A = this chain, B = another copy of it.
Amino acid sequence: MDSQGAKDAVRSLFEPNSVAVVGASEDPTKFGYLLMKNLIELGYSGKIYPVNKSRDTVLGYKCYPTVKSIPNDFETVIIIVPAQHIPQIMKECAEKKVKGAVVCTSGFREAGEKGAELEREMLQNAKIGGIRIAGPNTTGLLNVYNGFTSAFVKISKPRRGSVSIISQTGMFGSVLLEHILSTQAYGLSKVAGLGNKADLDDSDILEYLEDDANTKVIAIYAEGIKNGRRFLEISKRVLKKKPVIILKSARSGSGGKAALTHTGSLMVRDEIFDAVCKTTGLIRVEDIEELLDTIKAFAFLPPSKGDRIGVIAYTGAGCVMSADAIEKYGLKLAKLSEQTMQKLKRFAPDFGILSNPLDAELVRQGIGSAEGSLVLALESYLEDPNVDMVSLVLVGLTKESNIWDVDTKKVFSEIKRKFPAKPLVVTNLASKEVIDEYREILEELGIPTYPSLLRNIRALSALSKYCRRFPTETKY
C-alpha cells in the first residue's frame, strides 16, 4: 500500500469516529473490561460497539455477539480475544469495510511457529479488505486529544501536551505511560504501542506524527526496525521539523535473543544503528531515565543557540563536577563577558577568583542574601551573549534552613518571563521534601529539573546537538 494509504489508516486508528471492541467484558479481572473502562473514563467521544457472545450490554453499551451483527459501519476495531479466533474475526471486519485494527492479543509470531502461521493468516485476511493493523501483541494506541485508547491496563487520565511516543512493546507503552503521568510535568499527545509490527511499523506512525499539529516532540522505544531504509528516509524528513528521540534496545547478543521471544524482532547490529542515528540526527538514548530526561528538555526548553554552558552552583564541588560533565558531553564552558564579571565582582569583591562555573555561595556571602545572589547570578548569566544555556545547581536546602530565604515561585516566574528564549535547567541536591517542592514549582513554570547535575548537562547536550544540526528548521 502506498504511503498516503498507510497515513489514512493511522489517522483512522488515532482518530476513529466509531470503534468495535471484540472481547469487551464486565469481569473486572479481564483485559476486555479494563479496556472498555479506559475508553469511557478518558471520555472517548466516538461510538463504541462492544462485541461479546454472552452479553446483551457491557458497561451500559449495547453488546453484539459478532462483528457481522453490528448494524452500522464502524471505522476501527480493537481485538482482545484468544489468537486462534482472530483470522476469522479479521475476515468479518474486512466485510464490514473496517479501516484500522488494533490487535492486543499475544500468542502470534513471538510464541513460535504455530503463532507465526496465525499471524500470516490474520494479515492476509486484513489485506484482502484493505485493513491496516497495529500489533498484534500490544496495548495499542492512545490519543490524548480525543480520549481514544486501546490500553487494557488501568491508566490515569493524561494531560494534553506536545509529546508523542511510539513504543514497540505494548505493556511497556502503558507502563511507561503511567510512570510518565505520575512523575513528569509535560503533557502527551499520542502514544502508539506497536507490538509485533506485523503490519504498521514505526515509520508509518512517524509519517502520521510528522504532520500532527499537536505533536512537537517524538520519542520511540524499539527492539527492532522492520524496514531500515524507509525508517531512515522518513526519520530524516521528520527530524527537520521535530526532534525524534529513540531508545533502541536489543543491543547485545543476549538482548537480541530476548527480543526475538518478546516481539519476534530480528536484531539490528548496534554499530549499524548507531551509524543510522549519526547520519540522520536521531537522538539516541540508553535507558528509560535518559529517555524521559531528554523528552523533558525538548518539551519544556526553547531551542539553544549554541553549545556554551554557564554553570551557577551553590557549592564548589558542583562547579568541579559540572565542568567534568560539560567536557564529557562534548559541550563548552562559556567564557563570561566582561560585563557579567564586573556585575558579579561588585558584590563579591573579597573572594578573588570568580569565573564560570560560578561558586554562587561566594556571591551569597558577599551580598548577604540568598535571593539576591540567585537573581544576580541568573540574570547576569541569562543576559550574557556568551552564554547559550544555563545549568543551576542548588544544594543543601532543608525546610528549616534560615540561610535560604528565597521566594522560589516569584524568582523563577520572573526569570522565565524575562528570559523566555534561553534554556535553563535546575538540579537541587537537598532533602527529598525540598527536591519534590522545587520540581513541582519549577516544572509548573516550564523549567526542567533533574536529580543530578550530570543529568542537567546530559539533557542540555542533547538539546544543543539537535539545535546545531537543524538550526533554522527547528519548530518544536
Contact = CB atoms under 8 A, between A and B. Distances in A.
A327 B255 contact: yes
Contacts of A451: 289
A143 to B, nearest CB: 20
Given A28-B402, A316-B262, A328 B178 contact: no
Contacts of A319: 258, 262
B289 A175 contact: no
Contact of A258 (B182, B259, B316): B316
A286 interface: yes
A29 B369 CA distance: 11
Nearest to A172: B317
B320 A262 contact: yes
Task: Specify which of A321, A326, A328 lies most central, judged by the most chain B CB atoms within 10 Å of its CB.
Answer: A321
Given A172-B315, A430-B175, A396 B153 contact: yes
A25 interface: no
B261 A317 contact: no
A38 to B, nearest CB: 12
B431 A317 contact: no
Contacts of A326: 252, 254
Task: Specify which of A34, A169, A183, A324 lies most central, judged by the most chain B CB atoms within 10 Å of its CB.
Answer: A324
A445 B251 CA distance: 34
A128 interface: no
A469 interface: no
A315 to B, nearest CB: 5
A357 interface: yes
A341 interface: no
Given A396-B171, A451-B289, A111 B352 contact: yes
Contacts of A179: 429-432
Contact of A289 (B28, B111, B355, B452): B452
Interface string A157-189: 000000000001101101110110111000000
Interface in A253-271: 253-255, 257-259, 261-263
A250 interface: yes
Given A153-B403, A287-B454, A288-B454, 16 more contacts: A111-B353, A154-B400, A169-B317, A171-B361, A171-B396, A172-B395, A174-B396, A175-B396, A178-B398, A178-B430, A181-B431, A182-B431, A183-B432, A252-B327, A258-B322, A288-B452
